[in-house]
Chain A
């Protein structure tokens, strides 16, 4: 193999080189800015994680599996997975093998290193007889074929997304289209260009064969340069528009993964980690099908993919609208292949808003509540347990207060199991703080958290039982209650059944279990309620369940969604639940229960009510 030109340069490399330099500088500046935007503590944690072997290995593994192989998409749909990994991994391998090739066969690279790996075939000549590096020729052609197959699938997907398991897909912006068309054209142009030179530079099964087949056209070396120019221009255009298109996710995701592995959380809605998430969004549109609001066409533009787009455009009006409308069910976060946290981004965005006034909960007097909940305390300093039983404090919360059947049933089940308990908010209680938290009003939420903490800590209880998942989530995440176990009633009931303290009569009733957003995706409780229901009857599954369960539509998360609009969502969620024709719908959230009850054609109950009927 020898170089054809003494200079090792041709003007056609310029578009590519300029684009490449531009994109590198852009990414570098962006990287520095994002890191500087992180809070000092997070920044320190990030740097430490980069040198910690454990996270380092995890970073490399994650980047390989997620950015190149796209394992999450494979799990979802094989064809979609193949499409993504063929383009990403194939292209990556073309770059790697290209560099190896250049390093093996050229000396004194210098500035040529910028473009030689990309346009190597133009600059070298290879005679048939020597055919040094035929393995590399083969690899290059093979990975080019892999990428081309991915591009073909991508084009098919644009037209028929249903083949890829996607009902709806994102509406691309103008620049996205330019990026997309230039990306699509890069590899066919590369094939064309390399086929032109295949009789000079050598090639393998793809390029060489093409050169033979179309010998009339491809052997005419006068057409060679335009093809290489076109290839370089396609690359150049792609790189120039990349920072302003969805393809920015390619470099950003490589940053997002180490951030996430370092344990960094969203603090500011637009800066640092949040910004990395926004730019990591590949606009794949998986969140469009996932979003429960999507049943109404008008809401499609309020999904996370469009939130990310609007944040990148700084379109404040739309950002506010989208952030306020969301139900915060967290399904987009659960299915996002790159890990954009749509719900947290929105909460952070809500927190930015300035209110002229706000309620002040810091001077609520809780002495009465403390008096009422001190069943387990005999005098000021002595906490005496009246028996060996655990001392359970039951907090129903506002939603359970509006569904008294749940509170009654929970109490009755606890009595059947012989548990000593006290109801914390029998005569009215203080809000857990989660609604305020969801509205982004953290200071007020924390005031409520403090008040409840005071009551709970002075109660002498060792277990805090909750029947509302909305409360449960904030109790797990924001309350600091040393020595007290925080538990949801589904988990507690499972424990009572498994330990034999509660006997359940199995009835011939078909139940379907609805995973409440806050309990399932929010707190990761999926199995316990199913165990309980299986003990009480026959459990069937909804069409979409667990991580992909559909929000009931009643969520407190949305600040603006009207009642009529929610109806369509509730009906859609109900249709999903009754796929396997259950007789009764069971859930573990008072809000889901009352929302479903409004439109359901069969009984909807809380798991406590099922247990109250069947336990003895």
Chain B
């Protein structure tokens, strides 16, 4: 049981895989570049569709994987391929020789300021989904004025399914996240008008459709099918959103107190960096390339290198956890095969 297992990334995928491997009797090493575990989920407030607190999910994962060797604030400086193993040099000076590498490097949030026409970073009243979760968590954001929230808009697919933003892929979770956040905002400001500007609503998961019906029926959230063409700023700092309602075929113009951009998932540049060091292939969408996108999504084309979670493409939390468990099992079987 002395086999070294290196897990790159301490998000939920890395933690879940570590927890499973600990249960199987191994002592994996988690390398995390930031100062905390839990990745993007740690920044979130509630998770759809049951509004389970993200904090609970993350803290239980951290508790279950506490026995692992965890390096925070640590990056991979370089990776050397040895005969049948990898020599991994960390930024803290430690080097690890391992035959098994699990990539759980996840995704990056699309930089919404790249869609300049939506005014993120230019207009005061424009924020992203992540900023909104931060406000749910801390209640601290000067863009949200508790006394004057009469109209809020959500823009779907910001940096997703957008060739011009270099991301043709669907980020999968933003549709349902927007609905979740719209409901949460509506709960906090029952008098506010909430609009969702979407091009398609992809309600694929368990209970998502119910959630969507709730949003319309119980919360009166207005769904407008059509991409936002441009965003302007009023003299009093409110944002003016112009879009086309493609169902009625008419242009719409609304003035909002807050505009939330549903920034999508894009490949993590750090993930690409590690992949290049270990000579792992990159798929055409920029995410890591699996051995097979149907049968072997958690395996890389290289022996001993495994993937879990959003490093191979946008995923929901349950999908990520399931992949992490599968990867742990796969690693276990792989080690057995080596013996």
List A residues at the B interface (Cβ < 8 Å).
401-405, 408, 426-428, 563, 594, 597-598
* A404–B242 touching, CB < 8 Å: no
* B163–A594 touching, CB < 8 Å: no
Chain B residue numbers with a CB within 8 Å of A402 are 116-117, 230
Chain A residue numbers with a CB within 8 Å of B233 are 404
How does the 8 Å CB contact mask read for B103-120 relative to A, with 1 for contact and 0 for none?
000000000001011010
Q: With the chains together, A426 CA to B164 CA distance in Å?
A: 25
A409 nearest in chain B by CB position: B122
* A405–B164 touching, CB < 8 Å: no
How does the 8 Å CB contact mask read for B324-338 relative to A, with 1 for contact and 0 for none?
000000000000000
B78 at the interface (CB under 8 A from A): no
Chain B residue numbers with a CB within 8 Å of A403 are 116-117
- Contacts of B163-182 to chain A: CB distance below 8 A: 163-166
* A404–B119 touching, CB < 8 Å: yes
How does the 8 Å CB contact mask read for B229-244 relative to A, with 1 for contact and 0 for none?
0111100000010100
* A401–B117 touching, CB < 8 Å: yes
How does the 8 Å CB contact mask read for B213-239 relative to A, with 1 for contact and 0 for none?
000000000000000001111000000
A590 nearest in chain B by CB position: B116
- Contacts of B141-193 to chain A: CB distance below 8 A: 163-166
Q: With the chains together, A428 CA to B232 CA distance in Å?
A: 9
* A401–B240 touching, CB < 8 Å: no
Chain B residue numbers with a CB within 8 Å of A404 are 116-117, 119, 122-123, 230-233
* B117–A598 touching, CB < 8 Å: no
Can you pick out 20 interface pairs between chain A and chain B where the beta carbons lie within 8 Å of each other?
A: A401-B117, A402-B117, A403-B116, A403-B117, A404-B116, A404-B123, A404-B230, A404-B233, A405-B116, A405-B122, A408-B122, A427-B240, A428-B242, A563-B164, A597-B114, A597-B116, A598-B114, A598-B164, A598-B165, A598-B166
- With beta carbons under 8 angstroms apart, the residue of A426, A427, A594 that contacts B116 is A594
Q: With the chains together, A404 CA to B115 CA distance in Å?
A: 11
- Contacts of B239-271 to chain A: CB distance below 8 A: 240, 242
Instruction: Indicate the member of A401, A403, A404, A594 with the most B CB atoms within 10 Å.
Output: A404
List B residues at the A interface (Cβ < 8 Å).
114, 116-117, 119, 122-123, 163-166, 230-233, 240, 242
CB distance from A409 to the nearest CB of B (A): 10
Q: A401-B230, A403-B117, A404-B117 are in contact. List 5 more A-B contacts (CB 8 A).
A: A401-B117, A402-B230, A404-B230, A404-B232, A408-B122
Chain B residue numbers with a CB within 8 Å of A598 are 114, 164-166
Q: With the chains together, A403 CA to B231 CA distance in Å?
A: 10
Q: With the chains together, A426 CA to B240 CA distance in Å?
A: 11
A406 nearest in chain B by CB position: B116
Q: With the chains together, A428 CA to B116 CA distance in Å?
A: 17
A399 nearest in chain B by CB position: B117
* B119–A563 touching, CB < 8 Å: no
Considering the complex of A and B, which 6 residue pairs feature the smallest CB-CB distances, nearest first? Answer: A402-B117, A563-B163, A403-B116, A405-B122, A401-B230, A404-B122
Chain B residue numbers with a CB within 8 Å of A401 are 117, 230, 232
Chain A residue numbers with a CB within 8 Å of B242 are 428
Q: With the chains together, A598 CA to B233 CA distance in Å?
A: 24
Instruction: Indicate the member of B116, B123, B230, B240 with the most A CB atoms within 10 Å.
Output: B116
B230 nearest in chain A by CB position: A401
* A426–B122 touching, CB < 8 Å: no
Q: With the chains together, A408 CA to B116 CA distance in Å?
A: 12
CB distance from A426 to the nearest CB of B (A): 7
Q: With the chains together, A510 CA to B242 CA distance in Å?
A: 38
Q: With the chains together, A401 CA to B231 CA distance in Å?
A: 8
CB distance from B83 to the nearest CB of A (A): 36
CB distance from A74 to the nearest CB of B (A): 43
Q: With the chains together, A428 CA to B242 CA distance in Å?
A: 9
B242 nearest in chain A by CB position: A428
Chain A residue numbers with a CB within 8 Å of B114 are 597-598
Q: With the chains together, A401 CA to B116 CA distance in Å?
A: 10
CB distance from B263 to the nearest CB of A (A): 16
Chain A residue numbers with a CB within 8 Å of B231 are 404
Chain A residue numbers with a CB within 8 Å of B163 are 563
Chain A residue numbers with a CB within 8 Å of B117 are 401-404
* B122–A427 touching, CB < 8 Å: no
Q: With the chains together, A598 CA to B240 CA distance in Å?
A: 25
A402 nearest in chain B by CB position: B117
CB distance from A213 to the nearest CB of B (A): 67
CB distance from B111 to the nearest CB of A (A): 11
Chain A residue numbers with a CB within 8 Å of B240 are 427
A564 nearest in chain B by CB position: B163
A567 nearest in chain B by CB position: B166
* A426–B166 touching, CB < 8 Å: no
CB distance from A383 to the nearest CB of B (A): 25
Q: With the chains together, A229 CA to B159 CA distance in Å?
A: 73
Chain B residue numbers with a CB within 8 Å of A597 are 114, 116
CB distance from A415 to the nearest CB of B (A): 14
Q: With the chains together, A403 CA to B116 CA distance in Å?
A: 6
CB distance from A615 to the nearest CB of B (A): 18
Q: With the chains together, A401 CA to B241 CA distance in Å?
A: 12
Chain A residue numbers with a CB within 8 Å of B119 are 404
Q: With the chains together, A401 CA to B119 CA distance in Å?
A: 10
Chain B residue numbers with a CB within 8 Å of A594 are 116
Q: With the chains together, A426 CA to B242 CA distance in Å?
A: 12
Q: With the chains together, A18 CA to B116 CA distance in Å?
A: 68
Q: With the chains together, A408 CA to B164 CA distance in Å?
A: 23
CB distance from A574 to the nearest CB of B (A): 14
A398 nearest in chain B by CB position: B230
Q: With the chains together, A563 CA to B168 CA distance in Å?
A: 11
B233 nearest in chain A by CB position: A404
Q: With the chains together, A598 CA to B164 CA distance in Å?
A: 8
Chain B residue numbers with a CB within 8 Å of A426 are 232
CB distance from B226 to the nearest CB of A (A): 16
Instruction: Indicate the member of B122, B165, B166, B242 with the most A CB atoms within 10 Å.
Output: B122
CB distance from B152 to the nearest CB of A (A): 20
Chain B residue numbers with a CB within 8 Å of A427 are 232, 240
Chain B residue numbers with a CB within 8 Å of A405 are 116, 122
Q: With the chains together, A426 CA to B232 CA distance in Å?
A: 8
CB distance from A562 to the nearest CB of B (A): 9
B235 nearest in chain A by CB position: A426
Q: With the chains together, A404 CA to B240 CA distance in Å?
A: 12
A426 nearest in chain B by CB position: B232
CB distance from B161 to the nearest CB of A (A): 13
CB distance from A424 to the nearest CB of B (A): 14
A597 nearest in chain B by CB position: B114
Chain A residue numbers with a CB within 8 Å of B166 are 598
A554 nearest in chain B by CB position: B164
Q: With the chains together, A424 CA to B240 CA distance in Å?
A: 17
Chain A residue numbers with a CB within 8 Å of B122 are 404-405, 408
Chain B residue numbers with a CB within 8 Å of A408 are 122
Q: With the chains together, A3 CA to B166 CA distance in Å?
A: 80
Q: With the chains together, A563 CA to B242 CA distance in Å?
A: 25
A593 nearest in chain B by CB position: B116
